[in-house]
Structure 1
Amino acid sequence: MTYAGTQRQRSEERRVSPVFWVLLAVLGTSSWAVWTGYGENARFGVFLFVVSGWVVSLCLHEYAHARTALHGGDLTVGAKGYLTLNPLKYANTLLSVILPVVFVILGGIGLPGGAVFIERHRISGRWKHSLISAAGPLVNLALAVALLLPIGAGWLDSAPPTFVVALAFLAMLQVTATVLNLIPVPGFDGYGIIEPWLSLKARRAVEPFAPFGMLALFALLWQTPLGDWFWKLVYRVMELLDVSPSLAAIGYHAFRFWEG
């Protein structure tokens, strides 16, 4: 392939997907609808706003993993479509998009995705491997701060209350995703951060349990005091930015438009 052909191919691999533009359009339209109170059912607008915003954040989370891997040495992420921000290009759409949305609907919790396939053997250096895993949750943290700051700073005091609570709920999802992702359990980015620093013996000992790490953690969150500690930490992060968790709770109620 010629140099010009290679450059053209790289440009196409990194072109933002129309699917992502549609997601942004839904996010923009629904945010306008919530702000103005347009439509007979304002709570349905909150639902669309939160779901579209959450899926956009999932795309950015996975893009961060892929982009960091690209600079780390895995040049195959472009050909796989990971740099286009298209959620349908992920190795497992169920784990990265559908299941996280279901968890938001059922429990108001931001389940982390994690289905971009990084060819780790192409990347050398433990720091690079750790940074690739950390890139996703760092995006969620940045989004959480960006969403919470205007509320906590009082910049939205004159904004429509429905918009504020919807934004608070979306921000809380980013906080939960950040906290969950940083837990060092197999299946989460937190384990990916520390894994390069573990001995080969330790990694092999953990490997048989890796497929069950996520299920085990969520069972603990729902059935043990670990769940209370988790939510206390999430609420504490919100309070550090002067945002009351009660706003997110009201936003979650508005999000569930099918309830009375």
Structure 2
Amino acid sequence: MAPPDSARPHLQLLDGFRLELGREPVHVVPGVQRLLALLALHRAPMPRGVAAGLLWPDTTARRAAACLRSSLWRLGKPTTLVAVVEDALTLGTEVDVDFHRACACTTDPGASPDAFTLLTADLLPGWQQPWVQEERDWWRQARLRALEVLSEQFRSGGDPHHAHQAALAAVRTDPLRESAHRTLVQLHLAEGNPAQAVRQYQSYRALLRTELGLEPSPHIHDLMRPLLRDAR
């Protein structure tokens, strides 16, 4: 039988690292933080040598292996945080990871009541390891698409306020993303606010010109055609 949710270990990777056991925060040294984060992001069992090499890339394989043993020792025994599968390591099945729930929201944002909070959070901000950066790049694109889907779900459900909030979150995450600006323009037009739609379009157009020397695509321009004369 699975333990109750309040008794499960909770690992937070969004907006910073945090580990809780029984809802109480646990102090975790940096080496163990990196180990838990790596296993949470990788999900599948990872050979010890691969994990050691990723976590301590600037030392010898022997030294990296010793650092990994030390980090595992610091976890203590028995532990539900890390499981050993032959010569590989994996995160314990009982560990609840906020990033895993966030990833589920990218395929069906409306399925989770806290989807908006999860989708607007950054993954391990300030961490510079290449394996974090790779996952962060994926997360940035996945959450942008999900925020746009979530905005449309709110709009079609008759909730324009949260539809705006989701679209604005996508714009803040990537100010040059045209589809997010287009979503905001459509929302303003649907609410009978053409002036706000024009301001949104002109703001995006100015930013795009300044940053990239480009013009908006015909897709968003066509939305504004009835309101603007030769906006391009």
- Fold shared, TM-score > 0.5 on shorter chain: no
Query: Of Structure 1 and Structure 2, which has the larger fraction of its residues in strand?
Result: 2
Query: Of Structure 1 and Structure 2, which has the larger fraction of its residues in helix?
Result: 1
Greater relative contact order (CA < 8 Å, ≥ 6 in sequence): 1
Structure with bigger gyration radius: 2
Q: TM-score, normalised by structure 1?
A: 0.27
